[in-house]
């Protein structure tokens, strides 16, 4: 039993996809599919979270995750409060726990939290009051569960619900990627036929993260016949750490160009969580091309986050 699931089997917080039953993941994907029109603002907002206040509490920058949680909460009827650590009393030394407890005292019931430290959101969940719910919006290199869910939804829409037929390739800095970890948890839970992982050895983890995956450094070879390519952002600080020799060199070996993509299955799709380093891990031609699902991922982010908030707080 993970700490995010109650003794009666109900999801209390969403901290990670690791260990989450396939049935629960599928329920969230199904619900996101059902409410997609509301998520996209095509139909009237729902009222399932009327009277609920949700706070996005971010200790790290974000564009997509924060905005889509904000929109998702509003489209469910909730009141939304955005607290950005860079302009809050965090700057005066207030702890994350005190920040959370003070906002709870104002009647906030749901917190969407991003933090630079592994496990920080789970720690906060353990310190929260009885009726408070937390969603992990990305902690350190550990987990970004709603990104894993929206990526799975995007793949399911493009390729169908039977993941056992799919060959999926994840490319880049897996070692430092919370997105990759959550994608791997989702892909495994959904029974993906083959998961390939490719990147420079210095950026691939050597622990249990890649258990059961086909691992390689030769991008061209790993692309052969795959149905989906999930590109990861190259975190530029890896160059300063000496893990990547130069951006040009990285692009030459691990950049996805249209020519390279032709090695994948003819109808292969390309995903990237954003933000994109154009010309580094992916060319403009691919990022904006017909096989790219990048903006579909972003739209699905609102629907998934609505489904998650509704399941936790509705």
Distance (Å, whole) CA 212 – CA 194? 9
Going by C-beta distance under 8 Å and a sequence separation of 6 or more, which residues neighbour residue 43? 37
Q: Taking the complex as a whole, how short is the minimal distance between the CB of residue 275 and ligand CP, in angstroms?
A: 6
User: What's the min distance (Å) between Cβ of 198 and ligand CP?
Assistant: 20
Asked if 65 touches ligand CP (CB under 6 A), the answer is yes
User: Phi, psi (5° rounding) for residue 78?
Assistant: -75, 160
Binding mask 225-254 for ligand CP (x = CB under 6 A): ------------------------------
Using DSSP's 3-state secondary structure scheme, residue 82 falls into strand
Residue 221 CB, nearest distance to ligand CP (Å)? 28
Instruction: Kindly tell me the number of DSSP H helices and DSSP E strands found in the chain.
Output: 13, 9
Does the footprint of ligand CP cover residue 274 (CB under 6 A)? yes
**With binding defined as CB under 6 A, does residue 16 bind ligand CP?**
no
What would you report as the CA-atom Rg of the chain, rounded to the nearest whole angstrom? Answer: 19
Does 64 bind ligand CP (CB under 6 A)? Our answer is: yes
The residues near 168 (Cβ < 8 Å, ≥ 6 apart) are 155, 187, 192, 194, 195, 196, 226, 227, 228, 229, 230
- CB of residue 138 to ligand CP, shortest distance in Å: 6
Exactly one of 96, 121, 273, 307 binds ligand CP (CB under 6 A); that residue is 273
Q: Which is nearer to ligand CP, 5 or 137 (CB)?
A: 137
Alpha-helical (H) ranges within the chain are 22-34, 36-39, 64-75, 96-105, 120-127, 145-159, 178-189, 219-223, 237-240, 247-254, 258-261, 284-287, 294-313
Stretch that binds ligand CP, among 153-161, 166-174, 224-232, 272-280 (CB under 6 A): 272-280
| Shortest separation between residue 151's beta carbon and ligand CP, angstroms | 10
Which tokens sit at 125?
């969940």
Q: Does 2 bind ligand CP (CB under 6 A)?
A: no
Which lies closer to ligand CP via its Cβ, residue 5 or residue 273? Answer: 273
- b/e 97-120 (16+ beta carbons within 10 angstroms → b): eebbeebbeeebbbbbbbbeeebb
CB of 138 or CB of 145, closer to ligand CP: 138
What torsion, rounded to 10 degrees, do the Cα atoms 171, 134, 17, 139 define?
A: 30
Residue with tokens 């890649």: 210
Stretch that binds ligand CP, among 35-43, 61-69, 72-80, 102-110 (CB under 6 A): 61-69
Q: Is the peptide bond before 51 cis (omega within 30 degrees of 0)?
A: no
Does 140 engage in binding with ligand CP (CB under 6 A)? no
The only residue of 53, 62, 74, 253 in contact with ligand CP, by rule CB under 6 A:
62
**Binding-site size, ligand CP (CB under 6 A):** 10
Q: What's the token pair of residue 108?
A: 């906030």
Q: Segment 142-161, which members bind ligand CP (CB under 6 A)?
A: 147
In the bound complex, what is the minimum distance in angstroms from residue 66's beta carbon to ligand CP?
6
The residue among 141 and 147 lying less far from ligand CP, judged by its C-beta, is 147
Candidates 63-71, 124-132, 155-163, 224-232; binding stretch for ligand CP (CB under 6 A): 63-71
Is position 257 an interface residue for ligand CP (rule: CB under 6 A)? no
In what helix (H) or strand (E) does residue 299 lie, and over which residues does it extend? Answer: helix 294-313
> Could you give the CA distance from residue 308 to residue 43 in angstroms, rounded to a whole number?
19
Q: Which DSSP symbol is given to 89?
A: G
Closer to ligand CP by Cβ: residue 82 or 217: 82
Q: If binding is defined by CB under 6 A, does position 299 make contact with ligand CP?
A: no
Binding site for ligand CP (CB under 6 A): 62-66, 138, 147, 273-275
């Amino acid at each position: 039993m993970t700490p995010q699931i109650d003794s009666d089997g109900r999801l209390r917080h969403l901290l990670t996809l690791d260990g989450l039953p396939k049935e629960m993941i599928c329920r969230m994907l199904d619900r996101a599919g059902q409410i997609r029109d509301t998520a996209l603002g095509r139909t009237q907002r729902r009222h399932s979270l009327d009277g609920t206040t949700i706070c996005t509490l971010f200790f790290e920058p974000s564009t997509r995750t924060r905005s889509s949680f904000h929109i998702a909460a509003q489209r469910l009827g909730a009141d939304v409060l955005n607290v950005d650590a860079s302009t809050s009393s965090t700057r005066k030394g207030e702890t994350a726990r005190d920040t959370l407890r003070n906002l709870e005292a104002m009647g906030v019931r749901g917190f969407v939290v991003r933090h630079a430290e592994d496990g920080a959101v789970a720690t906060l969940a353990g310190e929260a009051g009885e009726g408070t719910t937390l969603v992990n919006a990305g902690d350190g290199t550990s987990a970004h569960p709603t990104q894993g869910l929206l990526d799975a939804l995007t793949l399911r829409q493009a390729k169908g619900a039977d993941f056992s037929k799919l060959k999926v390739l994840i490319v880049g800095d897996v070692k430092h990627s919370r997105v990759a970890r959550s994608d791997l948890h989702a892909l495994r839970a959904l029974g993906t036929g083959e998961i390939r992982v490719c990147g420079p050895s210095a950026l691939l983890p050597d622990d249990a993260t890649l258990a059961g995956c086909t691992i390689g450094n030769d991008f061209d070879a790993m692309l052969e016949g795959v149905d989906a390519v999930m590109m990861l952002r190259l975190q530029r600080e890896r160059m300063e750490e000496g893990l990547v020799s130069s951006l040009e060199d990285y692009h030459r070996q691990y950049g996805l160009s249209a020519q390279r993509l032709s090695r994948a299955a003819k109808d292969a799709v390309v995903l990237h969580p954003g933000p994109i380093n154009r010309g580094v891990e992916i060319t403009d031609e691919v990022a904006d091309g017909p096989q790219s699902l990048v903006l579909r991922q972003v739209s699905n982010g609102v629907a998934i986050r609505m489904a998650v908030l509704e399941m936790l707080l509705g």
